[in-house]
Structure 1
Amino acid sequence: MQVLKFGGTSVATPKNIELIRKILDEKTANSPVVVVVSAFGGITTLLLECGKQAAGGDENYSKPLAEITQRHIQMVKSLIGLKNQGKTLSKIRILLNELEDIYRGIYLIRELSPKTIDRILSFGEIASSTIINDAFQDKGYNCRLANCQELIKTNSQYTRAQLKKEETYKRIRKHFRESEASVTFAPGFIGSDDEGNTTTLGRGGSDFTAAIFAAALKVKQLEIWTDVSGMMTADPRIVRSAYVIRQITYEEAMELSHFGAKVIYPPTIQPVMEHDIPVLIKNTFHKDDPGTIITRDVPAGEDRLIRGLSSISNIALLNFSGSGMIGVPEYSHRFFKALSAASVNVILITQASSEHSICVGISMDDAKNARQAIESEFQVELHASRIDPLLIEENLSIVALVGSSMKEQVGVSGKMFSTLGQNGVNIKAIAQGSSEKNISVVIESNEVKKALNSLHESFFLSDKKKLNLFIIGVGNVGKAFLSQIKKQRSYLSKYHHVDLCVAALANSKKMYFESSGISLSNWERDLKEKGSKMNLKKFLEEMDTMNLRNSIFIDNTADEMIANCYEDVLKMSISVVTPNKIACTQSIEKFISLKKTGLRYKSKFLYETNVGAGLPVISTLSDLIKSGDEINRIEAVLSGSLNFIFNNYNGERPFAEIVKQAMSEGYTEPDPRIDLSGIDVKRKILILIRESVINMEMEDITTIGFIPETCMNAPTVDAFLSSLLDHEDHFRALYQKADKSGKKLKYVASFNKGKAETGIRMIERGHPFYQLEGKDNIVTFNTRRYPEQPLVIKGAGAGADVTASGIFADIMRIANS
């Protein structure tokens, strides 16, 4: 004997029932089959909705009833030939007429009792099993319809009836001893009490029915056919990388089911577990998929600690506390007794060891009843202030990590909490059973998607980390950066197990979001055509609302307004990567505040490109300081544009022409005065000083200018270039003075003995700066460990590609942290 169960989706359409026929053709060749079926997809919801409308006095209850009628009649006509249709239609119309009479009664008395709910809901399974059985008989199958109201006996706890196991098993065995049918169809979900009243078995009742048949008949395996290919590591609607669990234990399956996994329900497991009957979860629509097998033990060698993740939404937390509770055991007893009397189901419990508080998780639907029950029970203590007013937090969810091997491994809970903390998910409550088969946490409902994805990545895809990038600024640097991502994605995925997803792009005009990732082949077109008007506040709000794990905000601009929002971004537990120097060169208080905010909210604030574009200047300096070294002196050429200009100016071509060349080759800002003023270099040396744990402000740095003031005050860029030409003698004189003494002109930033300055210096032969060519930068650190020969960092310090590579390096530091 074999037992198979097909859910509502599997029997929702004639096409789906044809798939069932193909499955049964394979099964009946070996032995007789019991097929438990659910109501047609969506019918149970319509039946209940119709009842509620009738009980509420809404005459429109007839509309869902008409839909129920139409669905069943259409199924008969689609599944059964004309010759035999009449008989089945007659059966269904009798059922529907009886159902209509019941609804009419509900409407007249305005009452929908649990007993009546069971009566109306039973019509779904009775009608579907009747139609399907007759359809298979019409096709020539030797099949029979079992009456589960006669076979399955329960108590009278309507909507959640308890099984009378011995009597039920006895009836089932007797029925099949006398049956010669190859296929027996049975309606799931329903039974009857001792008075013959219809009862239902509660949520997942059809699965439970199948398990009852399997246990009573002691079959070798129970098969649950559904619309998914097995139990999954997480809900695939939330976690796209979720995959099917090939094998799982009974206890793990029950834990996952209890915490929201709807493939199978906990009551289903109990009957088969008693007889060690494996449960196979299969996909009706992909019958060749292997599915999930549920057994008592997982085979040796199956070493995954965690089997799956699950979650329950619509949770409220009751916080019951007060100093009068300490050392008084009756409070706990009375608290849970009051909830039980109010029929409030407790999903999660945690209690402080001080006995000062009890925290329980319940359905939000029960929150009002729970409050009334507790306040009624403890009204004397509340009035005397021995306990505090009941605190209820709503809009919460429970996320559970399940695995029977967790008890044998140290650090699972630590990894869970660390993963959630790093992604800014605040934990409201924690519960872990002594069996250590699950760890449950209560979090805000809007954090569930990020929490599940982060935990799934950490425990199931630990070899791959997804980073979600929110990028503002797609000019030269931004374009180069996106090009590098496109080129390196497959390499990073294959060799470094990092998946870079561009979740948002913005320029000064448009912003465009795509949580699944923006195509880097058409991003310019998509930004232009699909993007909405750029608004920084809305950009940040949308980024926060998307709530993606491992999010990084990338600012490729020099915009002060954007720099001023970094602290808000860090408070979202979103890391910040930027070449924008403004944030790091504002007041020392703001700089320190940014650092502290990042630490507090587990977010990174990285700005390597602030100083040396792609050169590892800040990271090297940071490593020196972390290891206990002390900075004595810093000397640096930090402007690639100025170095390019002085390396190419020899007095033969006008200084203004060299500046124009630097502009055309992209080495300067559109307004070259920003570079030539030395303000950029001043900001860079300030950042290095602050990274050396020395507090200094911009005004503490002396700047020695070399551009005549009349040039700097020119009204336009063209006027500035013209003014430079007028002052050519000034620049030629500077060059000739250095050349005569065998030196070269370099724009140098320095810090020594608490003093900092920037300006032109004549560099003698043999100095590390003398041979610095092109647009290269160079930084030298004299420290306690490098007192005589400095630590030197040298390389390209300007250009879109180099800066983009520095941004890329910061992102990889976050990926590897």
Structure 2
Amino acid sequence: MKILKFGGKSLANGQGIQNVLQIISKKQTNNEEVTVVVSARGNATDELLLLLEKAHGNVPYSDDFELFKEYQSYNASTLNLEKEFSLIEKILEGVNLLGDYSEKVKDQLVALGEVISAKYLTNLLNENGIKANFVDARNVLVTDANFGNAQPIEAVSKKKVQQYFKENQGVVNVVTGFIAATASGETTTLGRNGSNYTAALLANFLEAKELQNYTHVDGIFTANPDWVADAKKIDHLTFNEANELANFGANILHAKTILPLVEKDIPLRIVNTFNDDNEGTLISAALTLEGIKSLSVLPDVSLINFEGRGLLGKTGVDARIFKVMADNDISVSIISQGSSERGIGIVVAASNATKAVIGLEKEFENDFYTKDVNRISIVDNVSVISIIGQDLSTFHKSYTALINNNIVPILFNNTITGKNVSLVIKRDEVKKALNVIHGQIFGVAKKINIAVFGHGTVGGTLLDQILQSADTIEEKKGIKLNVFAIANSKKVLLTKKGATKNWREKVNEKGVSYAISDVIEYAKDHHLENLIAIDNTANGTFVENYIPLVENGFDLISSNKIANTISYEFYQNLRSVLAKNQKEYLYETNVGAGLPLIDTIKLLHLSGENITKIRGVFSGTLSYLFNHFSAEDRNFSEVLQEAIDKGFTEPDPREDLCGNDVGRKLLILARELELQNEFDEIKIQNLIPEFLREGSAQDFLQRLNELNPVYQEVKEQQESNHVLRYIGELSGDLQQEKGNLEVKLVSVPVSSALGSLKGSDSIFEIYTESYGEQPIVIQGAGAGASVTARGVFGDILRLSEKK
């Protein structure tokens, strides 16, 4: 025999009840012997409780009662439920008259929901040619008189159940779940998950082959699929694993449901009424592969902190605490303490927290007086996440992932088996924490949520690169890049599911005005994890947003040089905030576009290498300009115009020719060596003659020919076999607080590393104490949106792999 248990949603009017009928019919066709246990249909229990409260509060309830009767008798013309409806009405009238009710009366009322449900299904089965028999569990299950949460008297109940089913074979027995009766016949209910408990007891007493629990989900998942989009169905659990899940908040299970099945080694299968082809989750005694099985949540709990510095060395403190809990009928789900008993944290249901503290304050009243106990306090708005199957040997991965996402557990402990870890988390961080842990431990793609600020030439190219490569990166690296925000200085497009290839149109159509706080709040409201903010602007004011972004869980990546070249005070403050929040700031493209320059200098400096000088061609634009002008018989203005036409320069080329950009790049390298130079200390040779520095960009572009005599003279004054290069140079005693920073036009031999430069390449020479006169040379493409965007993309992947 198999026991089939159907929940309220499965028995609801419409598709649910029709599917239940089809499931039972299919099993009959396959000659399977089944017994059916039912919950109340739809929301019947909640509706009956609401009617009870209205009657108790002298609030009109007749209209609600009529709706209840209409729903429960829907499409059942041959079924007479007048007896049940009349009894409900009688109970409500009595409560309304007295203005009060007992747990005993409450049990009598809510029991009728299951009675109506079982009679409804029995009638429907008989109408469809399936011989069925209504079974009122109050006639076969005997309990104590603990109304609201009665405990079965197993020996008596077992005898009654076996006798009844022996006399009623060859039919589908439809049994009321949740309800039972005392030996004197008074109605009781079995408490939380009572219908499942009924089914488990019947399975035990009848030694069923399997208990099949039909619900509205496909089985048990690695996490709540409503909260974690990547949650996966678990095919098989052991009873012990299921029991841990039940203890830590898995609504579909309850520990008392498992125990009768464990006793007789009866498998439990969780199946979806609305997807009968799915095999669901099988729970049995058979061993499964070790490892983490699921994440479950206890949402409505409070943490009680008990602090007693004067209790050091005193025994029995725990016993006194637990006596208080027992006397007040309070269950403790987690306890954590130091060996000295000076500090103890216990987790209880939020509804019991105040009662627990009052009880503890009374118990330890004298200890407060002697100051042995300092404080008993409540931490509200917390939840517990339990990682079922988590071994402490690998827990550091999940813990680190939480810290990287600015989620700091308030308390954690592990079970005596060492295979389950529970964390107390702020309630508003639970969804984000679940996604972070789930992505870390279940091998699904780790989601990286990216906000891109600036979608011009570099930013737009970057977005296209991300979207073109996203599938490949997810497949090969297990990293899912999700661009949830695209912004310029005026508008932002926010989308939790991520940008698509038509992002330009979407920004225009759906972009809205914003402040940086709107992006931060959006990430919080949607529980987005692994946050990265990317600054592709050239905006001096946008860097003011860096610190609030970091403080709210974002790592930073920037192609914008300004944050690293404004005041040294801001530079230091930003790094202090980054360290405090354990966030990273990557900016490899600040110098050398996509070349691995900054990382190389950081590594050399960190390893203790004494860097004595850095020099090089820092600007791809000016590299192109002087490489061609030096090697070709052309006017300076002609080569400059060619660079402008190729898009190598800024709209106003004077921004390149003034040398400030090279100066900023040089300053960034100086600060990587912990030098405290400021920008105004850099000696910069401005390539624009004074007579061309004023006026509009358009005026300057029309007067390019006036540059020719100036630079022709410089070119002709060189030694033979020399070429012009515009370089940045960091020199001096670099072990001191400041170095010498200079940006200048120099003439170098064609045969030198600087002299052999071609196209728009950049080149950097790093001189160190160990390498002597032979510098480390880094050379490659130093300009272009595609190269810079690719460098930013590299920073994204570096950060993503660390998370």
Q: TM-score scaled by structure 1?
A: 0.93
What is the match of residue 775 of structure 1? Answer: 760
Amino acid at match of 1:252: E
Task: Return the offset for 1:555.
Answer: 1.1
Query: 409, 412, 416: which one pairs with 2:398?
Result: 416
Q: Secondary structure at the match of 2:746?
A: strand
Moved more, 288-297 or 806-815: 288-297
Amino acid at match of 2:18: E
Query: 303, 309, 317: which one pairs with 2:295?
Result: 309
Cα deviation digits, residues 301-341 of structure 1 (max 9, x gap): x24x1011111112211111122222233433332322333
Q: Which runs of 5+ in 1 are unaligned?
A: none
Residues 470 and 543 in structure 1, CA contact (< 8 A), matched pair in contact too: no
Amino acid at match of 2:326: S
Alignment of 1:339-350 (within 5 A): 339-350=325-336
Q: Secondary structure at the match of 1:34?
A: strand
What is the match of residue 23 of structure 1? Answer: 23
Is it true that 1:106 corresponds to 2:95 in the alignment? yes
- From the superposition, tell whether residues 544 and 561 of structure 1 become closer, same or farther in structure 2 (CA, over 3 Å): farther
- From the superposition, tell whether residues 769 and 126 of structure 1 become closer, same or farther in structure 2 (CA, over 3 Å): same
What is the match of residue 630 of structure 1? Answer: 610
Amino acid at match of 1:748: I
Is it true that 1:605 corresponds to 2:585 in the alignment? yes
Residues 155 and 164 in structure 1, CA contact (< 8 A), matched pair in contact too: yes
Distance 1:345 1:108 in 2: 36
Residues 465 and 497 in structure 1, CA contact (< 8 A), matched pair in contact too: yes
Distance 1:547 1:214 in 2: 42
Task: Return the offset for 1:99.
Answer: 1.0
Cα deviation digits, residues 252-278 of structure 1 (max 9, x gap): 111112222222222110100011111
Is it true that 1:73 corresponds to 2:73 in the alignment? yes
What is the match of residue 564 of structure 1? Answer: 544
Query: 492, 509, 513: which one pairs with 2:494?
Result: 513
Distance 1:118 1:771 in 2: 92
Moved more, 586-595 or 17-26: 586-595
Cα deviation digits, residues 104-160 of structure 1 (max 9, x gap): 322333324322332222122111111010111111211101110121122222222
Residues 533 and 549 in structure 2, CA contact (< 8 A), matched pair in contact too: yes
Distance 1:441 1:565 in 2: 32
What is the match of residue 115 of structure 1? Answer: 104
Is it true that 1:486 corresponds to 2:467 in the alignment? yes
Alignment of 1:513-662 (within 5 A): 513-518=494-499, 520-649=500-629, 655-662=636-643
Task: Return the offset for 1:658.
Answer: 4.0
Distance 1:782 1:678 in 2: 23
Cα deviation digits, residues 564-610 of structure 1 (max 9, x gap): 22222222232111111111122334323333433332322111111
Query: 398, 401, 409: which one pairs with 1:427?
Result: 409
Amino acid at match of 2:404: Q
Distance 1:702 1:804 in 2: 30
Q: Secondary structure at the match of 1:805?
A: helix
Task: Return the offset for 1:543.
Answer: 2.9
Amino acid at match of 2:531: S
Q: Secondary structure at the match of 1:467?
A: strand
Distance 2:271 2:638 in 1: 75
Moved more, 646-655 or 793-802: 646-655
Is it true that 1:449 corresponds to 2:438 in the alignment? no
Q: How many residues in Structure 1 have an aligned counterpart in Structure 2?
A: 794
What is the match of residue 698 of structure 2? Answer: 718
Is it true that 1:690 corresponds to 2:675 in the alignment? no
Distance 2:770 2:798 in 1: 26
What is the match of residue 765 of structure 1? Answer: 750
Moved more, 212-221 or 8-17: 8-17
Amino acid at match of 1:744: V
Residues 412 and 422 in structure 2, CA contact (< 8 A), matched pair in contact too: yes
Query: 282, 302, 305: which one pairs with 1:319?
Result: 305
Cα deviation digits, residues 217-276 of structure 1 (max 9, x gap): 111211111111111111101111111111111111111122222222221101000111
Task: Return the offset for 1:410.
Answer: 5.7
Alignment of 1:690-709 (within 5 A): 690-709=671-690
Is it true that 1:256 corresponds to 2:245 in the alignment? yes
Task: Return the offset for 1:793.
Answer: 1.1
Is it true that 1:46 corresponds to 2:47 in the alignment? yes
Is it true that 1:283 corresponds to 2:272 in the alignment? yes
Task: Return the offset for 1:184.
Answer: 0.6
Q: Secondary structure at the match of 1:757?
A: strand
- From the superposition, tell whether residues 307 and 799 of structure 1 become closer, same or farther in structure 2 (CA, over 3 Å): same
Percent of aligned pairs with the same residue? 34
Moved more, 748-757 or 663-672: 663-672
Residues 6 and 215 in structure 2, CA contact (< 8 A), matched pair in contact too: yes
Query: 726, 743, 763: which one pairs with 1:747?
Result: 726
Amino acid at match of 1:513: L
Is it true that 1:217 corresponds to 2:217 in the alignment? no
Provide the alpha-carbon RMSD of the alignment. Answer: 2.0
What is the match of residue 376 of structure 1? Answer: 362
Amino acid at match of 1:466: K
Residues 659 and 687 in structure 2, CA contact (< 8 A), matched pair in contact too: no
Residues 345 and 362 in structure 1, CA contact (< 8 A), matched pair in contact too: yes
Alignment of 1:72-151 (within 5 A): 72-74=72-74, 77=75, 80=76, 85-86=77-78, 88=79, 90=80, 92-151=81-140
What is the match of residue 401 of structure 1? Answer: 387
Moved more, 210-219 or 555-564: 555-564
Residues 236 and 242 in structure 1, CA contact (< 8 A), matched pair in contact too: yes
- From the superposition, tell whether residues 319 and 62 of structure 1 become closer, same or farther in structure 2 (CA, over 3 Å): farther
Q: Secondary structure at the match of 1:96?
A: helix
Residues 144 and 181 in structure 1, CA contact (< 8 A), matched pair in contact too: no
Distance 2:331 2:52 in 1: 24
Residues 154 and 161 in structure 1, CA contact (< 8 A), matched pair in contact too: yes
Q: Secondary structure at the match of 1:288?
A: coil
Cα deviation digits, residues 700-719 of structure 1 (max 9, x gap): 3221223223322x232112
Cα deviation digits, residues 760-793 of structure 1 (max 9, x gap): 1112121111122222111111123322221111
Task: Return the offset for 1:681.
Answer: 1.0
- From the superposition, tell whether residues 125 and 320 of structure 1 become closer, same or farther in structure 2 (CA, over 3 Å): same
Task: Return the offset for 1:47.
Answer: 1.8
Query: 652, 657, 668: which one pairs with 1:676?
Result: 657
Query: 623, 643, 646: which one pairs with 1:665?
Result: 646
What is the match of residue 2 of structure 1? Answer: 2
What is the match of residue 716 of structure 2? Answer: 736
Residues 49 and 64 in structure 1, CA contact (< 8 A), matched pair in contact too: no
Task: Return the offset for 1:489.
Answer: 1.4
Distance 1:143 1:541 in 2: 56
Distance 1:52 1:326 in 2: 50
What is the match of residue 281 of structure 2? Answer: 292
Amino acid at match of 1:483: D
Residues 557 and 580 in structure 1, CA contact (< 8 A), matched pair in contact too: yes
- From the superposition, tell whether residues 661 and 130 of structure 1 become closer, same or farther in structure 2 (CA, over 3 Å): same
Is it true that 1:387 corresponds to 2:376 in the alignment? no
Task: Return the offset for 1:657.
Answer: 5.0
Distance 1:595 1:330 in 2: 49
Q: TM-score scaled by structure 2?
A: 0.95
- From the superposition, tell whether residues 768 and 146 of structure 1 become closer, same or farther in structure 2 (CA, over 3 Å): same
Task: Return the offset for 1:667.
Answer: 1.9
What is the match of residue 361 of structure 1? Answer: 347
Task: Return the offset for 1:654.
Answer: 5.2
Q: Secondary structure at the match of 1:503?
A: strand
Q: Which runs of 5+ in 2 are unaligned?
A: 733-738
Residues 247 and 298 in structure 1, CA contact (< 8 A), matched pair in contact too: no
Q: Secondary structure at the match of 1:565?
A: helix
Distance 1:54 1:693 in 2: 76
Moved more, 542-551 or 444-453: 542-551
- From the superposition, tell whether residues 337 and 64 of structure 1 become closer, same or farther in structure 2 (CA, over 3 Å): farther
